[in-house]
Structure 1
Amino acid sequence: MRILVVHNYYQHQGGEDMVFHQEVNALRGDHEVKEITFKNKTGLRGLLQFLSYPFNLIACYAVKKAIRDFNPDVVHVHNIHYASGPMIISTIKSCRIPIVMTLHNYRLICPSATLFYKNSIFTNSLTENFPWTAVKLGVLDNSFFKSLWVAFTYWIHKKLGTFHKINTFIVLSDFAKSVFSKSTVDLPGNKFVVKGNYVVDPQISSRRRSESFIFIGRLAEEKGIIPLINALKGTSHFLKIFGAGPQQSEVEHLTAGAANITYFGFQANHVIQQHLVEANALLVPSICYEGMPMTILESFALGIPVIASNIGILEKMVIPLYTGLHFNPFEKRSITASLDQWQSLNSSVKDSICANCRKEYVDKYTPVHNMSMLIAIYKNVILNTKQS
């Protein structure tokens, strides 16, 4: 199979980039794969890219040339924000090539992309034909103009029927599928297929468990790191924090005098894995709708339990007393109570939960399982395109 994969890099690397690279590398094992990528710039070039967001003719030309040169059987689109833009979808369709698109976030519904604003879930855009509330609030980078331009870009392409030209949308979970189904995006339910992310098996058969919990992720408001620190500071629970982000200085300040909390900063993956494999449990205190956190998959692969917020997909991925526990991230007492409960479990129960985590990984999140689903999706859209 000949597969063209299209992706738009953000200015700073994130989880979507990791998924893109993983899938491309895995596909190359058995298929001919070509990738065409775009990257968001800063300064004047970035402004010109952003202004071209609704109708980027340069990006369309690049995609059309790649299709002409490579002649793919299918095109898989990942991120299109903002250096490529939605118009490339119409370009691909004009070449009569079937299109698969992975929705890594909720930008199709709301310019926030996360359905999160100022420390809480933001769902107004789900019921508005044009997300005026999000625009007026400046949900994207606290900017009225940025929010308006992104909202307009997706609104005009909805009106033009651009997204109906996509054969299949891949969403990461049943939860994400339900969110899109409840929204005004107006796409038929049979266009959505659930296929999660995956991680490579670390193949570590044994580990030495410590008493420390661990947080791995971006230090940002939506990740709930500050409420977590405030809840655990001065308690008997030990916490290791790995990551960087806009709240880094605040994290450094709060943890500077905390005897039970250590901030390690940004570290290489192999360093983080060494600490994760010894962790008591992974803590995921997010206060937003997550996509499918790779840290949870990595923890499951290592047999590490997860104690997470009871919000969105986290409530589905983490099963209480089977793969971990839940807490309300907005309530300090709920956070500490969950950790107290975990500590009170006897070692045999904890060992059973660790085994369950590993089983979840083997059953759902391995490369073989994931890629077989992806190939099946490709074959299905190719077959349906030939029959239509």
Structure 2
Amino acid sequence: MRILVVHNYYQHQGGEDMVFHQEINALRRDHEVRELTFQNKTGFGGLLQFLSYPFNLSASNSVKRMIRDFHPDVVHVHNVHYASGPMMLRAIRSCRIPMVMTLHNYRLICPSATLFYKNSLFTRSLSEKFPWTAVKLRVLDNSFLKSLWVAFTYWIHKKLGTFNKVNKFIVLSDFAESIFLNSTLQLPDDKFVVKGNYVGDPKPVFKTKGECFIFIGRLAEEKGIIPLINAIKATSYSLKIFGAGPQQNEVEYLTANAANITFFGFQSADVIKQHLAEANALLVPSICYEGMPITILESFSLGIPVMASNIGILEKMVIPLYTGLHFNPFEQNSIIASLDQWQNLNISVKDSIRANCRKEYIDKYTPAQNMSKLIAIYKDVILNAKQS
């Protein structure tokens, strides 16, 4: 199969970039794959890209040229924010090539992309034909103009029927699918298919599990890192923190004199894996709707339990007393109570939960399963395109 994969890099690497590279490398083992990428810029170049966001003819012409040169059987689009833009979807459809698009976030609905604003979930955009509330609140980078321009970009393409031109949208979970179906996007059920993320099999490192909990992720408000630190500081439990982000200075300040918390900052994947493999449990205190956190899949693959927020997909991925525990990330007492509950479990129960985590990975999140489903999606849209 000849597969063209299109992706727009953010200025700073994120989870979407990881998924893009992961799928590209896996697909290349059995298929002919070509990639077309765009890069968000800073300064004047970035401003021009952003102004072109709604109708980027340059990006559209680039994808047309690639299609004419490569003659793919299917085109798979990942991120289009903001150097390429949704106009590119119309260009692909004009070439009469079947197309799928992975929705890694909720930008089609809301300029926030995360349905999160100022320390709480933000869902007003789901019921508004134009997300005026999000624009007025400046949900994107606290900027009225940025929020308005992104909102306009997706609103105008919704009005133009651009998103109907995508043969199939891949969403990461049933929860994400329900969000899109219950929004004003007004796309039919059969436009969506659920296919989650995956991680390679690390072959679990059988180490004696330590008493230290671990946080791995972006140090940002929506990830709930500050409330987690404040909760841990009120206990004798140990916590390791790995990551970087806009709240790093605050994290460093809060942990500087905390004897039970160690901040490691940004570290390589190998270093993080080593610490994760010997962790007591992974803590995921997100206060936003996550997509499908790779860190949870990595924990499951290593047989490490997960203690996570009872919000969105996290409530579905982590099963209490089977693969971990839940807590309310907005309440410090709930976080501490969950830690206490975990520590008070006997060793045999903990070992059973660790085994369940590994089983959950084998059953749901291996590369072979994921690629098999992705290829089935490609074949389905190709077949349906031929019959239409």
Normalising by the residue count of structure 2, what TM-score does the alignment of the two structures yield? 1.00
Q: 2 CA distance for matches of 1:351 and 1:289? A: 29
Q: CA deviation digits over 1:81-139, x for unaligned, max 9?
A: 00000001010000000000000000000000000000000000000000000000000
1:208, distance to aligned residue in structure 2 (A): 1.7
Matched residue, 2:314: 314
Matched residue, 2:131: 131
1:364 aligns with 2:372: no
What amino acid sits opposite 1:69 in the alignment?
A: D
Q: 1 CA distance for matches of 2:205 and 2:146? A: 48
Q: 1 CA distance for matches of 2:72 and 2:321? A: 46
What amino acid sits opposite 1:143 in the alignment?
A: S
Matched residue, 2:287: 287
Q: 1 CA distance for matches of 2:244 and 2:96? A: 43
Say whether the 8 Å CA contact 2:204–2:303 is kept in structure 1: no
Q: 2 CA distance for matches of 1:222 and 1:205? A: 31
What amino acid sits opposite 1:312 in the alignment?
A: G
Q: 2 CA distance for matches of 1:324 and 1:34? A: 40
Q: CA deviation digits over 1:243-268, x for unaligned, max 9?
A: 00000000000001101111011100
Superposed, 1:56-75 pairs within 5 Å as 56-75=56-75
What amino acid sits opposite 1:142 in the alignment?
A: N
1:112 aligns with 2:122: no
Tell me, what secondary structure is at the counterpart of 2:158?
helix
1:205, distance to aligned residue in structure 2 (A): 4.6
1:350, distance to aligned residue in structure 2 (A): 0.3
Say whether the 8 Å CA contact 1:114–1:289 is kept in structure 2: yes
Q: 2 CA distance for matches of 1:230 and 1:205? A: 31
Q: 1 CA distance for matches of 2:182 and 2:168? A: 18
Matched residue, 2:89: 89
What amino acid sits opposite 1:61 in the alignment?
A: N
Q: 1 CA distance for matches of 2:190 and 2:94? A: 22
Q: 1 CA distance for matches of 2:234 and 2:258? A: 7
What amino acid sits opposite 1:2 in the alignment?
A: R
Q: 2 CA distance for matches of 1:294 and 1:216? A: 10
Q: 2 CA distance for matches of 1:213 and 1:356? A: 19
Q: 2 CA distance for matches of 1:302 and 1:247? A: 28
Matched residue, 2:346: 346
Superposed, 1:1-388 pairs within 5 Å as 1-388=1-388
Q: 2 CA distance for matches of 1:137 and 1:179? A: 21
Tell me, what secondary structure is at the counterpart of 1:135?
helix
Say whether the 8 Å CA contact 2:7–2:36 is kept in structure 1: yes
What amino acid sits opposite 2:100 in the alignment?
A: V
Tell me, what secondary structure is at the counterpart of 1:82?
coil
Say whether the 8 Å CA contact 1:234–1:258 is kept in structure 2: no
Say whether the 8 Å CA contact 2:205–2:277 is kept in structure 1: no
Say whether the 8 Å CA contact 1:234–1:259 is kept in structure 2: no
What amino acid sits opposite 2:175 in the alignment?
A: F
1:204, distance to aligned residue in structure 2 (A): 2.3
Q: 2 CA distance for matches of 1:194 and 1:384? A: 18
Q: 1 CA distance for matches of 2:257 and 2:178? A: 44
Q: 1 CA distance for matches of 2:373 and 2:208? A: 35
Say whether the 8 Å CA contact 1:198–1:294 is kept in structure 2: yes
Residues matched between the structures, number: 388
Q: 2 CA distance for matches of 1:59 and 1:234? A: 52
4+ residue segments displaced more than 3 Å: none
Q: 2 CA distance for matches of 1:17 and 1:343? A: 36
Say whether the 8 Å CA contact 1:308–1:318 is kept in structure 2: yes
What amino acid sits opposite 1:74 in the alignment?
A: V
Q: 2 CA distance for matches of 1:290 and 1:346? A: 31
1:234, distance to aligned residue in structure 2 (A): 3.7
Q: 2 CA distance for matches of 1:332 and 1:93? A: 50
CA-based RMSD of the aligned residues comes to 0.5
Q: Which moved more, 1:197-206 or 1:172-181?
A: 197-206
Say whether the 8 Å CA contact 1:234–1:260 is kept in structure 2: no
Q: CA deviation digits over 1:213-232, x for unaligned, max 9?
A: 00000000000000000011
Q: CA deviation digits over 1:308-361, x for unaligned, max 9?
A: 000000000000000000000000000000000000000000000000000000
What amino acid sits opposite 1:265 in the alignment?
A: G
Tell me, what secondary structure is at the counterpart of 1:108?
coil
Q: 1 CA distance for matches of 2:235 and 2:180? A: 40
Which consecutive unaligned segments of at least 5 residues does structure 1 have? none
Q: 1 CA distance for matches of 2:302 and 2:117? A: 33
Say whether the 8 Å CA contact 2:218–2:245 is kept in structure 1: yes
What amino acid sits opposite 1:285 in the alignment?
A: P
What amino acid sits opposite 1:233 in the alignment?
A: K
Tell me, what secondary structure is at the counterpart of 2:186?
coil
Say whether the 8 Å CA contact 2:300–2:357 is kept in structure 1: yes
| Same amino acid, percent of matched pairs | 80
